[in-house]
Amino acid sequence: MTRSAKAPRTGALARGTITSVAAARLGLARLGERMRPAGADAAAEADAQARHEAAMGRILFQAMGQLRGTALKVSQILSMDSSFLPEGVRRELARACHQATPLNRALVGRVFRQSFGQEPEALFTRFEPQAFAAASLGQVHRAELAGHGPVAVKVQYPGIATTIASDMRLLRTTLRALAHSDLPLPGDVVVERVLEEIERTLLHEVDYLHEARQLQWFAEHAALPGIVLPQPIASHTRAQVLTQQYLHGLHLADWLRTDPTQAQRNQAGQWLWDWFMHCTFGLGHMHADLHPGNFLFLPDGQLGVLDFGCTRQLSPAFRSGVLQAWRALLQPASPARDQGVLQAYGALGLVDASLDLATFTGELMPALSIMQAWQTEPFTAPVFDFAGKSRPPAPVAAQQKVLARHLAAVPPELPSFERAWLGLMHLLTEMQAQVHTRAECWIG
C-alpha cells in the first residue's frame, strides 16, 4: 500500500472529473479491444479477453479508489457476485475489500483534532500513521492503548458523508460507460437496485458511534462458539473515529493460500453458517455486509467478524415468510407445494392477494425457478458441499418483465437480506466448506 500525498477529493467538480476520465479510459480500452487483429486461436483469444477484462477492472478500481467511500462500497458488492461482472473485472474490484489508497498523515491528524481536540499520538501509547487496511468509508491504523493493548483505529475519510448523494449519480455514469462496452452486464434494473440499497445503508454507516453500538449489541447477544467480535472502546470512539480491539488474522484469499485442510474449511464454514442463521432468523438482527474483507481467519482457527456499520433488523413476519417459502420450495413439485409458495409470498407482500394459483404457477414460478433453486440449494442435503455450489443466475430480460408484471412490492428488508445471503454463499463457496445446513430449528 503506497502513501497518498493528497486528500480524497470531496468537491463535486473534482469527483465528476474522476468519473469522466474513467469513462473516457473505458472507451479507449473498448476501442483498443475492437482493433485487436482477428484470427487468433482459441487459447490466444481467451488470454486476450482475460487481459482486456483485467484492464477494464483496473480502470474502474483506480477511479473508485480515488472517489473512496460510496464507490469502494460498490466495488465490494460487485466483486461478491460472480455473475454480475466478467471474472477479470470482478477480480480487480475485489481488491476494494481491504485495499485503498491511504490518507496522508496531515489528514489523519485533522480528523483527530476535529474529533478529540488533539493528535492521535496524544491519545495512544503508540499510533502507526501508515494505515494497514481500508474499510469502505475509512482506513484502519494499528495502535497501542494503555489498559487495552493492541487496538485497531478506523478513521473516516474527511467529508465523505457529504459526498454520498453526488457519488451515487457519478457512479451511475461510470457504470453506464461500462455497460456500453463489449463486456456482458446485467440489465439496468439490477444495477439500480444494488445502488439504491447502498445509498440507503450508507447514511447509517457514516456514523461510527452507531457502528460501535451495533458491535456491542452483537457481542452481547450473538456470541457463538468460533466467532470473535472485536470489542469497541468507547473512550476513544467518536462519529468519525472508531477504536476497537485488534484481531490478528488473515483475510480469505490469504488464508486459502495457506492451503487449509478440509476439516479446517468445514469448521470455519460451520461457524459462519450457524452464526448467520442464528443472527438472521433467531435474533432478527443480521450483519448485512458479508464481503471477504469483513472476515479474519485467526491463528487459533476461530473466525473474526469486522465492520458492523451495515446491519439490518428483520421483522418476525419477514423471517417467518422467508422460512415458509423455503420450506415449501424444498417440497416435491405439486399443486400443494406451489400453493404454499404463493401463500408465503403473499404473507411477505411480494404478490397481490388477488393473484390466483394458475397464474402464479404458469407465469411467475417459471420466472423465479432458477433463482429459487440457487437460493435453497444449500438445504437440499443434510451436509452441503459448497465446492459444488452453483453460480448465482444472471437476470434475463424476459424474466424481469414477468416479475415486474406480477410482483406487487418488495419488503424493505429484502434487498439487505438478499445481499447478505449472496455474501454468505460467496464466502462458503470460496472456502469450499462442507456444512450441516438442515438444522431442525430453521428449515426442518
**Please, which pLDDT band fits residue 77 given cuts at 50, 70 and 90?**
low
**In whole angstroms, what is the distance from residue 418 CA to residue 412 CA?**
11
8 A C-beta contact, residue 437 and residue 384: yes
Q: Cα 237–164–208 angle (5° rounding)?
A: 10
**Please, which pLDDT band fits residue 164 given cuts at 50, 70 and 90?**
confident
CB contact burial 422-438 (16+ within 10 A = b; e otherwise)? bbbbbbbbbbbbbbebb
- What secondary structure letter does DSSP report for 378? G
8 A C-beta contact, residue 3 and residue 102: yes
What pLDDT shows up at residue 318? Answer: 96
- What secondary structure letter does DSSP report for 118? S
* The model's pTM: 0.77
**In whole angstroms, what is the distance from residue 339 CA to residue 344 CA?**
9
Q: What is the separation of C-alpha 166 from the centre of its chain, rounded to a whole number of angstroms? A: 21
Whether pLDDT at 378 is above 90: yes
**In whole angstroms, what is the distance from residue 153 CA to residue 144 CA?**
10
In this structure, what C-alpha cell is assigned to residue 5? 500525498
8 A C-beta contact, residue 101 and residue 3: no
Q: Which residue has the higher pLDDT, 254 or 444?
A: 254
Is 304 in a helix, a strand, or coil? Answer: strand
**Please, which pLDDT band fits residue 254 given cuts at 50, 70 and 90?**
very high
What pLDDT shows up at residue 428? Answer: 98
**Please, which pLDDT band fits residue 35 given cuts at 50, 70 and 90?**
very low
CB contact burial 259-272 (16+ within 10 A = b; e otherwise)? ebeeebbbbbbbbb
Return the half-sphere exposure (C-beta side, CA atoms, 13 A cut-off) of residue 293: 26
| pLDDT (average), residues 74-100 | 61
Task: Kindly tell me the burial class for residue 216, based on how many C-beta atoms sit within 10 Å of its own C-beta (0-12, 13-18, 19 or more).
Answer: middle
Whether pLDDT at 185 is above 70: no
Whether pLDDT at 374 is above 50: yes
**Please, which pLDDT band fits residue 137 given cuts at 50, 70 and 90?**
confident
Whether pLDDT at 54 is above 50: yes
Residue 278 backbone phi and psi in degrees, to 5: -65, -45
Whether pLDDT at 44 is above 70: no
Q: Give tens-digit pLDDT for 264-276.
A: 999 999 999 999 9
What pLDDT shows up at residue 408? Answer: 73
Q: Closest Cα to residue 242, out of 229, 251, 233, 250?
A: 233
Least confident residue range of 92-106, 155-169, 240-254, 374-388: 92-106
Q: Which residue has the higher pLDDT, 39 or 350?
A: 350
Contacts of 145 (CB under 8 A, 6+ apart): 124, 125, 151, 233, 236, 243
What pLDDT shows up at residue 423? Answer: 92
Q: Closest Cα to residue 75, out of 55, 103, 99?
A: 99
Domains by residue range for the chain, with CATH: 12-97+160-202 (no CATH), 105-156+207-312 (1.10.510.10), 315-412 (no CATH)
Number of continuous H segments (helices) and E segments (strands) in the chain: 17, 12
In this structure, what C-alpha cell is assigned to residue 124? 495512544
SS3 per-residue string spanning 230-290 = CCECHHHCECCEEEEECCCCECHHHHHHCCCCHHHHHHHHHHHHHHHHHHHHHHCEEECCC
What pLDDT shows up at residue 105? Answer: 85
What pLDDT shows up at residue 74? Answer: 66
Whether pLDDT at 79 is above 70: no
From start to end of 306-353, where are the E strands?
A: 311-313
**In whole angstroms, what is the distance from residue 28 CA to residue 32 CA?**
6
Mean pLDDT of the chain: 82
Is 370 in a helix, a strand, or coil? Answer: helix
What pLDDT shows up at residue 45? Answer: 58
Question: Which helix or strand (DSSP H or E) is residue 152 part of?
Answer: strand 149-156
**In whole angstroms, what is the distance from residue 104 CA to residue 138 CA?**
12
Strands 303-305 and 227-228: parallel
In this structure, what C-alpha cell is assigned to residue 232? 469497541
**In whole angstroms, what is the distance from residue 93 CA to residue 379 CA?**
30
What pLDDT shows up at residue 181? Answer: 59
